[in-house]
C-alpha cells in the first residue's frame, strides 16, 4: 500500500458557494465557518456562501475564505483518513499547517487575512503583473526572466506548477516583456493573469516583512506529520523552521511540481485534494499520470472518496 498526501488549493481556486453543502448539512463544518467569522469579526461566511464574487475575489477575503472551505472539509475527511504528508499551494500551505496541528484554525485565518491585506498593499495597482507561461523550458524561462530583469524590469518565476506550466511575476513592464518574448524560452503561449499584485516575487518584500512581524506573535507547534514547504519542496516539522519559511514564501516561487515529485519519490501514490475546485488534481496528473488523485470539494465527493477501493 502506498502513502497518502493531503494537498490544499490556493488563490484562484475560490468560487462563491464553496463548501455550501457541508455548511448546510454538517454541524462540524458549520462550526468552522462560525469560528472564521468570530476570529475575523465580520461575516466571512456570507461572502463565501453568497458573494458577491467581487468581494470574494479581493485577496484579503479570498485567502481566509479558501482556508475556511478547506478546513471545513478537512474536519470531515480526517475522522476516516490520515495523511503521511501534507502540502498546500501558496495560501494552501496554511491549510496544510492546520491539518498538521502547527497552527490553530483561528490563528491561521487571522494570519492569512493579514497576509492578504499586506500582499494587496505591497505594490500600487497597475505596477505589478503575473502571466502563465505554457510549454516553456524551465531553465530557459529563468534565463529569459533574468535577461528581462536586467534590461526592462523585474520578472521572476513565481509558480512552478507542473511540466509546461509556469507562472511569472514582477513589474508590469517585465511581465509584458516575457509575454512578448516567451517563444525565446520555448513557450507556446503566454497568458496575462487577472491578479491584484505580483505575488511570489521580490516585489512582495514589504508584505513579507509585515507578515514576519505577525508570524512572530502566532503560537506554533511542531508538525504532527511532515509539511512539504513551497519554498524548498522538502519536508519540515519544526515550528521555528516553518515560521521562517512562511515569510520567505511570499517572495519565493511556489515549487509545486518539485513538491509533487518529491512526494512521489517518497512512495506517495494517493493524493487527496481538500478544498474548493480541482486545480491541484489537474497539476498532479500532468506531473505523473500514474498516481491516484481525488478532489474533496463537496459532501458528494467526500463519500465518493471512501467508496473507492484505492482509498
Q: Which of 95, 200, 247, 278 is catalytic?
A: 200
Chain segment 143-200, per-residue pLDDT in tens: 999 999 999 999 999 999 999 999 999 999 999 999 999 999 999 999 999 888 999 9
Q: How confident is the model at residue 311 (pLDDT cuts 50, 70, 90)?
A: low
Q: What is the mean pLDDT of the chain?
A: 96
pLDDT given at position 84: 98
Q: What is the mean pLDDT of residues 270-281?
A: 97
Name every residue whose Cβ is closer than 8 Å to that of residue 178 and which is 6 or more positions away in sequence.
131, 133, 141, 144, 145, 148, 155, 168, 190
pLDDT given at position 309: 52
pLDDT given at position 194: 86
pLDDT given at position 308: 65
Distance CA 276, CA 297 (A): 5
Please state the separation of Cα 221 from the chain's center in Å.
21
Does residue 292 have an active-site annotation? no
pLDDT given at position 78: 92
C-beta pairs of 250-253 under 8 Å, 24+ apart in sequence = 250/115, 250/118, 250/119, 250/199, 250/200, 250/204, 250/207, 250/208, 250/211, 251/200, 251/201, 251/202, 251/204, 251/205, 251/208, 252/200, 253/156, 253/157, 253/158, 253/159, 253/160, 253/200
Q: Which three cell numbers stand for residue 126?
A: 497597475
Q: Which of 70, 90, 169, 171 is catalytic?
A: 90
Q: What is the mean pLDDT of residues 58-79?
A: 96
Helix (H), strand (E), coil (C) string for 150-198: HHCCCEEEEEEEECCEEEEEEEHHHHHHHHHHHHHHCCCEEEECCCCCC
> Count of alpha carbons within 13 Å of 171, Cβ hemisphere only?
12
Q: Domains in the chain, start-ordered, CATH in brackets?
A: 3-122+203-307 (3.40.366.10), 128-195 (3.30.70.250)
Q: How confident is the model at residue 310 (pLDDT cuts 50, 70, 90)?
A: very low
- Assess contact for 171 and 155: CB atoms under 8 A: yes
pLDDT at 137 over 70: yes
pLDDT given at position 196: 80
Report DSSP state, residue 202: G
pLDDT given at position 151: 97
Q: What is the mean pLDDT of residues 118-130?
A: 93
Does residue 89 have an active-site annotation? no
Report DSSP state, residue 226: -
Amino acid at each position: 500500500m502506498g502513502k497518502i498526501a493531503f494537498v490544499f488549493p490556493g488563490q484562484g481556486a475560490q468560487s462563491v458557494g464553496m463548501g455550501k453543502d457541508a455548511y448546510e448539512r454538517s454541524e462540524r463544518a458549520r462550526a468552522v465557518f462560525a469560528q472564521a467569522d468570530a476570529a475575523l469579526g465580520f461575516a466571512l461566511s456570507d461572502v463565501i456562501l453568497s458573494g458577491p464574487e467581487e468581494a470574494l475575489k479581493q485577496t484579503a477575503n479570498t485567502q481566509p475564505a479558501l482556508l475556511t472551505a478547506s478546513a471545513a472539509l478537512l474536519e470531515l475527511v480526517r475522522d476516516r483518513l490520515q495523511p503521511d504528508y501534507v502540502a498546500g499551494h501558496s495560501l494552501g500551505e496554511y491549510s496544510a499547517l492546520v491539518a498538521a496541528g502547527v497552527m490553530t484554525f483561528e490563528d491561521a485565518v487571522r494570519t492569512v487575512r493579514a497576509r492578504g491585506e499586506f500582499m494587496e498593499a505591497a505594490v500600487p495597482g497597475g505596477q505589478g503583473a503575473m502571466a502563465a507561461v505554457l510549454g516553456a523550458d524551465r531553465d530557459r524561462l529563468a534565463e529569459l526572466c533574468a535577461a528581462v530583469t536586467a534590461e526592462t524590469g523585474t520578472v521572476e518565476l513565481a509558480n512552478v506548477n507542473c511540466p509546461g506550466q509556469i507562472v511569472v511575476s514582477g513589474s508590469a513592464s517585465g511581465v509584458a516583456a516575457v509575454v512578448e518574448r516567451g517563444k525565446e524560452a520555448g513557450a507556446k503561449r503566454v497568458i496575462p493573469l487577472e491578479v491584484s499584485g505580483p505575488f511570489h516575487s521580490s516585489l512582495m518584500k514589504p508584505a513579507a516583512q509585515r507578515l514576519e512581524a505577525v508570524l512572530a506573535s502566532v503560537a506554533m507547534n511542531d508538525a504532527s506529520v511532515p509539511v512539504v514547504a513551497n519554498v524548498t519542496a522538502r519536508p519540515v516539522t519544526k515550528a521555528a523552521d516553518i515560521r521562517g519559511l512562511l515569510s520567505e514564501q511570499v517572495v519565493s516561487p511556489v515549487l509545486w511540481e518539485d513538491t509533487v515529485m518529491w512526494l512521489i519519490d517518497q512512495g506517495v501514490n494517493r493524493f487527496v485534494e481538500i478544498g474548493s475546485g480541482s486545480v491541484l488534481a489537474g497539476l498532479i496528473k500532468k506531473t505523473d499520470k500514474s498516481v491516484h488523485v481525488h478532489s474533496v470539494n463537496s459532501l458528494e465527493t467526500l463519500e465518493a472518496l471512501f467508496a473507492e477501493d484505492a482509498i
